[in-house]
Amino acid sequence: MPFYITIQPSGHRYEAEDQETVLESALRHGFTLPYGCRNGACGSCKGKILSGQVDYGDYQSTALTDEEKAAGFALFCRARPLSDLVIESREVSAARDIQIKTIPCRVQKIERVSDDVAVLYLKLPASERLQFLAGQYIDILLKDGKRRSFSLANAPHDDALLQLHVRHVPGGAFTEYVFTTMQEKTILRFEGPLGTFFLREDSDKPIIMLATGTGFAPIKSMLEHAFHVGIRRPITLYWGGRHRDDLYMLDLPQQWAQTQANFTFVPVLSRPTAEDQWNGRTGHVQDCALADHPDIKSYEVYACGSPEMVSEAHRVLVAAGLPEEAFYSDAFTPAKDSQPQPTT
């Protein structure tokens, strides 16, 4: 049976169909709650149940702790109502009027930028353009109905080709296909744009960006957009990896640091070897950021990468005084299946 959900503090009220999550039903009615991964891993959709009961669904404990659950919090991308609900959640208005589409595309170019990262350039039909916000992602639709989520790495103004950064996950259905079989001119289908991880342009706070691995993709989109529209707020990027090769486009942010007066770049390696010949920062990006910005409460933070980094960055920075609402995140989680699956 359907249940009614009321969002506070806005007072918006909508109906959830049987088996719909809180997030799914909100999006269907045009109310954009914050979300990122949509699989219970990143915690971006976390909100509070003020009244009513939910089935919490499957999720990762790093995204919703037992203490948070006991305090009334839930992940709205996984929680399904078992009664009428009153929830407390921010609403994101900037993404609301952007149409989510299912579009065919052609793989125009495949560029191997490291041993385990490929950049896909996707060309849309001549009659199509994808409107999106810097930082959003798309879902590649596989032939068996499964999806693979990838952030858009190009800025919205540079949309002749959509750019995806794909890290090779051994045994991963789509990434094995990309690295072993996919050819240029391959036809794919995707749905998007999706997600509420995007650059907030109506703030005057200085920005700290944290990325690990291919979490650089949406950060790249945000930065290129910020430079294009002339955002003058100070922006510092901490991009981390285990080894130097993990920073697969190292020259690009180094170039930005030379040409953009308000931009600072800090590369970080957590496990440098002698082969890396590394004399830069070491450790974890969130620790380096906090060491450099002890006044973290006056900043906005955008974090994208491994769930472990995003979760730990949230814990450490909020504990140091960063307002909860000033932490924006997206976490990358590898798909669980292991068989390569051709796309349509």
Average pLDDT over residues 207-218: 97
For 6-40, b/e burial (b = at least 16 CB within 10 A) is: bbeeeeeebebeeebbbbbbbbeeebbbbbbbbbb
Q: What is the predicted pLDDT for the residue at 95?
A: 77
Asked if residue 91 has pLDDT above 50, the reply is yes
Q: If you write DSSP's letter for every residue of 236-250 in order, what string do you get? A: EEEEEESSGGGSTTT
Q: What is the predicted pLDDT for the residue at 338?
A: 37
For the whole model, what pTM was predicted? 0.84
Host H or E run for residue 109: strand 101-114
Asked if residue 111 has pLDDT above 80, the reply is yes
Q: What is the predicted pLDDT for the residue at 336?
A: 53
Average pLDDT over residues 222-241: 97
End-to-end distance of the chain based on CA atoms, in angstroms? Answer: 35
Q: What is the predicted pLDDT for the residue at 344?
A: 31
Asked if residue 255 has pLDDT above 90, the reply is yes
Q: What is the predicted pLDDT for the residue at 334?
A: 63
Kindly report, residue by residue over 43-82, the tens digit of the pLDDT.
889 999 999 999 999 999 989 999 999 999 999 999 999 9
In Å, how far from its chain's centre is CA 20?
Answer: 22
Q: To 5 degrees, how large is the angle CA 90–CA 96–CA 100?
A: 125
**Ordered domains of the chain (ranges, CATH):** 3-88 (3.10.20.30), 101-194 (2.40.30.10), 207-331 (3.40.50.80)
Give the tokens for residue 215. Answer: 């979490």
